[in-house]
Amino acid sequence: MLTKRIIPCLDVTLDEAGGTVVKGVEFLDLRKAGDPVELAKRYNEQGADELVFLDITASHEGRDTMIDVIQRTANEVFIPLTVGGGIGSVQRIREILRAGADKVSINTAAVKNPELVREGADIFGSQCIVVAIDCKRNSDIENNPDKTIIELEDGSRVWYEVVIYGGRKRTGIDTVQWAKQVEELGAGEILLTSMDRDGTYDGFDLPITRKLSEELEIPIIASGGVGGPEHMQEGFVKGKADAGLAASIFHFGEYTVDDVKKHLRKNNVPVRP
């Protein structure tokens, strides 16, 4: 098993403070978690392998990502930083990378303009382009015979629908098919978030995580639902993910990155020092 990455996620909204980390449940009922720069410094010191910074309302509000907050965050961390939210053009990708990001995460804009993935990969390299996929279970399989049907733990069958604009809009797009398409377009990895699990502390959505991990060649970052180190372990062992992303357990002091890594080492899941 290859070394697994632990990635704290900073979901940031623009407010009177200039940018605040928030966390909700299924993308709703957001509560404040702190200053993004201070949290980034904390996770850097705790031994996080990477950081993800998502401006979660930029696309919905039709504005650009917060460049100044990204610059201040990048100045304080010495691990790879991925930035997403409101990135809709090659020029914007260039600006984000110049601000200090190592990678950009494209979600809504990729769905609306898939060629942006190809253009970004051609110009900046696939290693810089992460496609974020937010998905939601859809139990209507009778009217969707062309979708990838996945069996859940309880034996029921669903397909996973891509949602955009921070989960506000369904697209009718099949998650597995979309992931394969963006891999072909040049994406370097997939950040997969199950909206059904987001903020629930119930663990990763293992069926879709495992499906993408088995079907794709590029790395899959599992996101949504981590309630403790054992869920990270499940994501790697049962979900076959390459990296695990979490927010709530880190932001509110329930666990540190080191706590998670110690648990994984104890259970023979290889992680970086």
Q: Which of 35, 55, 134, 242 is catalytic?
A: 134
11 included as an active-site residue: yes
Q: Which of 11, 55, 174, 205 is catalytic?
A: 11
259 included as an active-site residue: no
- Assess contact for 37 and 72: CB atoms under 8 A: yes
Catalytic residues: 11, 134
